[in-house]
Amino acid sequence: MSKKLRLGVNIDHVATIRNARGSSYPSPVRAAKLAEAAGADGITAHLREDRRHIRDSDIEALRAELSTPLNFEMAPTPEMQAIALRHIPHACCIVPEKREEVTTEGGLDVAADQARLTEYVKPLVDAGIRVSMFIGHEPAQIEASARIGAQVIELHTGHYCDMHFAGRFDERDAELEALAAGAAYAAELGLEVHAGHGLTYDTVSPVAAIKQIRELNIGHFLIAEAVFLGLRPAVEHMRHLMDAARG
């Protein structure tokens, strides 16, 4: 297994700032190119059903201008499937979406929706897209993801990060252990394992140290940190912490 842990930089919240004023700046594509220059191995963008940050035209521009792979995050809807099949990104990460949520609250319930998701994923896989399921660490969700034909899972690290920042360290550590067990089980089943959501400089290292994890997707914190440091140093420091955790 390769030791290199890939960093996918999520540029959604560059678009959040742009949309707050209805301006044409800041440009998510410019941010993506800077992130690539700083050591990102790929770019992640989530086209939400309500288009609160990334827009259809951003996906088109990213697809045309990136030199690293695009990981297209999307809800499992017919509209998003059609968009993915039009652009053929390197990867699609299927995430649950609730219109009123502030952010993605939990993982997709793959186990409860296996027949539909099997049908949903097949044209994407047939088109050569790597399909990833954004799930919690429960064995039933991991098994279901393998069963429906996904090649990848992305483990939701939001609860682990929330427990860290709430100072609930026993619960944080229990969650980290469950993430590690989930990663090991998924790798045993032949799934490639990614992780992400809410990761920061303070929380990234223990997750990066889980050896079955091949990619971390990190966005909100990096864009926030870029306000103080600039995007390039923010990404470079995250890259450094990830590499150091890998030893």
Ligand X SMILES: NCC(=O)COP(=O)(O)O
Ligand Y SMILES: CC(=O)[C@@H](O)[C@H](O)COP(=O)(O)O
Query: Applying CB under 6 A, does 197 fall inside the site for ligand Y?
Result: yes
Window 204-233: residues binding ligand X (CB under 6 A) = 217-221
- Token duo for residue 215: 């990619």
10 is in an annotated binding site: yes
Q: Is 194 a catalytic residue?
A: no
Query: Applying CB under 6 A, does 199 fall inside the site for ligand X?
Result: yes
If contact means CB under 5 to 8 A according to the sort of partner, which of ligand X, ligand Y, none does residue 199 touch? ligand X
Per annotation, catalytic residue among 164, 175, 197, 215: 197
203 is in an annotated binding site: no
Window 12-41: residues binding ligand Y (CB under 6 A) = 12
* Nearest residue (CB) to ligand Y, 104 versus 203: 104
Contact pattern from residue 108 through residue 147 relative to ligand Y, giving x for each residue in contact according to CB under 6 A and a dash for the rest: --------------------------x-------------
Q: Is 73 a catalytic residue?
A: yes
Q: 169: part of which helix (H) or strand (E)?
A: helix 169-188
DSSP structure class, residue 103: S
Write down how long the chain is. Answer: 247
* Nearest residue (CB) to ligand Y, 73 versus 215: 73
Other Cβ atoms less than 10 A from the Cβ of 12: the count is 22
Dist CA 200 CA 186 (whole Å): 24
Q: Is 237 a catalytic residue?
A: no
Query: Applying CB under 6 A, does 182 fall inside the site for ligand X?
Result: no
- Token duo for residue 226: 């870029």
Dist CA 183 CA 84 (whole Å): 27
* Cα dihedral: 191, 221, 172, 165 (round 10): -170
Q: Is 145 helix (H, G, I), strand (E, B) or coil?
A: helix
Distances (CA, A) of 162 to 13, 65, 169: 19, 34, 10
* Residues at the interface with ligand X (CB under 6 A): 10, 44, 154, 196-199, 217-221
Could you list the residues known to form a binding site for 3-amino-2-oxopropyl phosphate, using ranges. Answer: 10, 21, 198, 219-220
Query: Which chain residues interact with ligand Y by CB under 6 A?
Result: 10, 12, 46, 48, 73, 95, 103-104, 134, 197, 219-220
